[in-house]
A and B are shown apart, each in its own frame.
Chain A
Amino acid sequence: MSVSEPVSAPGAADLRPTRHESFLAFDRFRFLKWAVILVALAIVMYLLVRPYGRPYGGGWTGYTLGTVGALLILWLTWFGYRKRSYTENAGRLAARLSAHVYLGIALFFVATLHTGFHFGWNVHTLAYALMCIVIASGIYGVYAYVRYPRQMTENRESMTTVQMLGRIAGIDDELRGVAMPLDDATVAVVERAITDTAVGGSAWRQLSGRYPGCTTAMAIAHMEAHAREVAPANADAWRQTRLKLEEKGAVLQRIRADIRYKALMEVWLYLHVPLTFALLAALTAHIISVFFL
């Protein structure tokens, strides 16, 4: 090695990260620590300060917890804006997401203590319930973000979506060629497997990765069922068609799994974001009804 150290940028230390670090572990779990402190303070307050003798959303304990909770909700919602403000220098988004996750979970404790465990069929509990769903969907999101990226990479084996689709188109071309000498019924199912390739589609298909009417699977099934009826002259074409169909099946499985992982990493946002806005509405109603009605 060199006697001299590698030269780095002049002036102040470079603020850019130099190694990969998950948002969960950001800065040695800085925001997890914050969240734990926040929750601990809330619990202490809840247990020690009971101005009216019993837990209750009012009183200065209740108002404090409520105010902290409401401000947290607004701040957490602002993430949607922050995420898209690319031009402002507001630090790393990963730091913000780390805080978003841990403080969002802390919010659950703060708000639950704020309720004093009084629930009923009213707008107050509605706001609480919406908040719980938003937080729960967010926790699922964290789970998905931790679990699926690795599986997705392993499934892809360095191919891009475009390359996988291109491979399918290539196999289709080859299939048309090799299936040509076969009997009409087989040619028909192969042709269907070529023209009706299902990738993506309904939310359920995307999420489950199941495609019950898969024409490629049907063509394979057809060939399996009729394997004994092949004329000896066509045996080679039959085998090649079968192989190509299997190959296409494998690529399809890969691309469908890819779509599934992507869907699993995105689906929770369809709850998380709209319900956040519902939560804001219910929260507004809750505050107005408490203070002004």
Chain B
Amino acid sequence: MAADFKIAIVGSGPAGLSAAVHAVKLGVPHVLFERAQHLNDTIFKYQKRKHVMATPEVLPLRSDLDFREESREEIIDGWTRSVEEAKLNIRLGVEVTAIKGQKGDFALTLSTGETVSAEFVVLAIGVQGNLNRLRIPGNDLPFVQYQLDDPDEYTGEEIAVIGTGDAGLENALALAINNNVSIINRVADFPRAKAGNIALIEAAIKSGDIHHLANCEPKAIEAGFLVCDTADGAGVRLKVDRVIARIGALPPRRFVESCGVVFPNDSPTAYPPVSETYESQVPGLYIVGALAGYPLIKHCLNQGYEVVEYIQGNNIPPADEPLIQAKLDAAKVAMSVSELVAAVRERLPLFANLTALQVREFLIHSEIHHPAAGEIVFERGEFANSLYNILDGEVGIRVNPDDPNEMVRLRRSEFFGEMALISGRRRTSTVVATADSLLLEVDRNTMVKLVRSEPTIKAGIDKAAVVREIKTFLMPNVEDHVLADVVDSSTVFEFKPNEKLIEEDADDDSVYLIRKGSVTVSMRVGGKDVVLAYLPAGNYIGEMALVTHRHRAATVTAASATEAIRMDSAAFRALLDRDPELRRKVEEKLEQRMIERNLLSRNAEAGDLIGFLVRQGIGEATDVLLIDESLCVRCDNCEKACAETHHGVSRLNREAGPTFAMLHVPTSCRHCEDPHCMTDCPPDAIHRAPNGEVFITDQCIGCGNCERNCPYGVIQMAAVPQKKPGLLSWLFFGRGPGPGEDKSPEGLAHRTGGKHAVKCDMCKGIDGGPACVRACPTGAAIRVDPAGFIDVMRRGQ
């Protein structure tokens, strides 16, 4: 018996809809099931007027539905028109409750009780249909809701928002305009939200616009009340008109499993595995979109289109194929994209666990290099942007800056560049190709995302990094096997700013090697904490207790987000006993440190200066503007120079910012090691140049996330100003505006309708270095990097 349809598509989100429209175009008999009473429920449920991004920008769109960056309403209107023209076979308000059978003969049981058959099934149900619900009594009362369409619908209500992820915070913020909003938080902070939303919610809590119930656990919902447990045990009974719970969504695992699909692990966030053509382990059953792990709309649209093509037997190359092929061609590598994908998966153990689709996705953001023997890959001192993987050939790491022939060789399957990637500091060695090689350079943002989502990648990088870090920073001339005990017994720890690595008087004696961030060393003198030293990444700490067999002599505190390798004291001591040269070095350094500490503990002002600079973010800075106020004549020539070299808008505010001991830290970018501004940039417009400049490209869409994320307030949203006359025609003929005079907006050609983010780019691309420093007439303004901080900090002595 022939099936009712060739393709049954379940779910009419972007992926399902795109598939259905393409099925019409190819004339394939199809049916589209949608549980809701309207199409495209996912986007329908977006908050009204939400601005929807079309990321990843570089990926071409391949769908019969139009899609670009625009508002929710524009997208829905456009798609509704396309769907009407296409004359789809849609069944609205019908849920598919079971899928049985195999390729060529699937039976779909519907909520109406009927059963339809289809040769192929495309599962595009996403995850939004499976919203988590509260598991407390009263969770289904009419005033309890699990989503919010239009915050403007409610005014003057008492609303409790449960859930402190981005959806919850965004809802709370939008509702707070016209309602009394309380946010119910199990903990005291917001660990699951984007930094931008955290900044907004904290501001709203501070100003009293939103009431924050921290350490508060919902217990029951009764008519008009939300009952919660609180940390103090007293409990709270909150009067509410409405409860909005935004506690996430999960893949509808039970349903997917009932179709015969096996999940790779028990993690609730696991996705069903699919092949390169989106086919699940059940032949004929295809899974696309968010359910397959692709939550971006553009991916969904493309996959909807492609899956129909694949079912029709057309083996079209994926949409990203030409992009990756262009990279191969540019590097003059005779290889097809699928060969490259296969090579990455086979030859690079780091990425062995990724699917071909995931590999393709990160290849879009990677570069392929084909250096000949002798060519330099990167130089010592450049800033890190990427991780290099050796697909073929061999490279040499120049471990001794004075002798280019002293090299450590790395071969196929190995990677390098991870130390600077972790620390955010300059490359510690030059790397040169020692044979014709094929290298894959994965950019920093992509690497950060991969490390976060794939624990195996993080573990793989860490394993190699720890050895290399210990060797580079501590014992460059020691053979690997000698280090084995120390390496095996060491662990990487992460510390938040102000968290203590070591406490004074404690009796542990491990040695820490700081590999990212920085720390301060302080001691209690006369009841007051006196800062004795500032140590950036690359330093070890804690050896004093080990050598002297005494309790900890000082407290070590993270000055910024810090990662340190803790080495077991017994293993470290054994190493010292074995290597007299190393012991001598460590002891010499220890003596020098003790002398410095003695000096500093008697000079509280110098310590205070270090403390001050660390509070101003020097701990995570790579380059910071410092003004000596005993030299600064307040002419503001620095600001004028900045404005003149940057389209009329100064990126620094000379006057603002704190001063200590005549040292002024103006409001100006610190070019952080791990830039806060980069963490949540939707179009990925913020980058770091090889010289360390963190800059914003024209890709900026003006969303303001970076402005909110910057803890130092150095990013502004600015309009494009008018064109300036030449300096002489201003000087002699009064043509305005003059240097540093005008900030008025004109000719706003930007696609966001005006503003975009601007910040210091350290005068990247301008000869002679930063204009602010060049333009200072009295020598008051300098920019210093971590190597220079130590000098500046010694001023007080």
Contacts and interface: CB of A to CB of B under 8 A. Distances in A.
Contacts of B629: 149-150, 152-153
B644 to A, nearest CB: 4
Given A8-B381, A10-B380, A89-B767, A265 B633 contact: yes
Contacts, number: 155
A84 interface: yes
Contacts of B777: 23, 83, 93-94, 96-97
Contact of A3 (B585, B655, B779, B782): B585
Contacts of B684: none
Contacts of A2: 473, 538-540
B784 interface: yes
A22 B631 contact: yes
Interface stretch (A11-19, A184-192, A200-208): A11-19
A160 B662 contact: no
A10 B382 contact: yes
Given A2-B539, A18-B782, A160-B655, A9 B473 contact: no
A150 B659 CA distance: 12
Contacts of A93: 637, 774-777
A26 B779 contact: yes
A152 B630 CA distance: 9
Contacts of B773: 16-17, 92
Contacts of A86: 640-641, 644-645, 739, 771, 774-775
Interface residues of A, number: 48
B594 interface: no
Contacts of A160: 655-656
Contacts of A90: 768
Nearest to B770: A16
B630 A150 contact: yes
Contact of B778 (A8, A22, A85): A22
Interface in A106-154: 144-145, 148-150, 152-153
B792 interface: yes
B469 to A, nearest CB: 11
A53 interface: no
A158 interface: yes
A12 B584 CA distance: 34
A6 interface: yes
Interface stretch (B343-351, B423-431, B454-462): B423-431
Given A84-B727, A94-B779, A4 B769 contact: no
Contact of B631 (A20, A84, A144): A20
A81 interface: yes
A149 to B, nearest CB: 5
Contacts of A161: 655
Interface in B751-789: 766-771, 773-780, 782-788
B633 A4 contact: no
Interface string B642-666: 0011000000000110110010100
A262 to B, nearest CB: 6
A62 to B, nearest CB: 33
B628 interface: yes
A263 B769 CA distance: 31
Max chain A CB contacts within 10 Å: which of B428, B592, B659?
A: B659
Max chain B CB contacts within 10 Å: which of A7, A9, A158?
A: A7
A1 interface: yes
A21 interface: yes
Nearest to A7: B426
Given A3-B585, A158-B658, A83 B791 contact: no
Interface in B514-547: 535-536, 538-540
A275 B773 CA distance: 29
A73 B271 CA distance: 78
B147 interface: no
B634 A265 contact: yes
A160 to B, nearest CB: 5
B789 to A, nearest CB: 10
Contacts of B475: 3
Max chain B CB contacts within 10 Å: which of A18, A22, A84?
A: A84
Contacts of B426: 7-9
A195 interface: no
A91 B774 contact: yes
Max chain A CB contacts within 10 Å: which of B631, B641, B776?
A: B631
A196 B644 CA distance: 38
Interface string A53-76: 000000000000000000000000
A161 B771 CA distance: 25
Contact of A149 (B535, B630, B784): B630
Contacts of A148: 633
A214 to B, nearest CB: 25
A9 B792 contact: no
Contact of B786 (A6, A150, A156, A262): A6
A87 B645 contact: yes
Interface in B609-638: 626, 628-634, 637
Contact of A23 (B380, B536, B539, B778): B778
Given A3-B475, A7-B425, A94-B777, A81 B379 contact: no
Contact of B381 (A1, A10, A92): A10
B518 to A, nearest CB: 12
Given A19-B792, A86-B774, 11 more contacts: A1-B592, A4-B473, A6-B786, A8-B381, A18-B787, A22-B631, A87-B766, A89-B774, A93-B776, A149-B629, A160-B656
Interface of B: 379-382, 425-428, 472-476, 535-536, 538-540, 585, 589, 592-593, 626, 628-634, 637, 640-641, 644-645, 655-656, 658-659, 662, 664, 691, 727-728, 731, 739, 766-771, 773-780, 782-788, 791-792
20 contacts: A3-B473, A4-B476, A7-B428, A9-B381, A11-B381, A16-B769, A19-B792, A20-B780, A20-B782, A21-B779, A23-B777, A84-B731, A87-B644, A87-B766, A87-B771, A93-B776, A145-B778, A150-B629, A153-B662, A160-B656
Closest 9 CB pairs of A and B: A89-B768, A10-B381, A89-B767, A6-B787, A20-B628, A86-B644, A153-B629, A94-B779, A86-B641
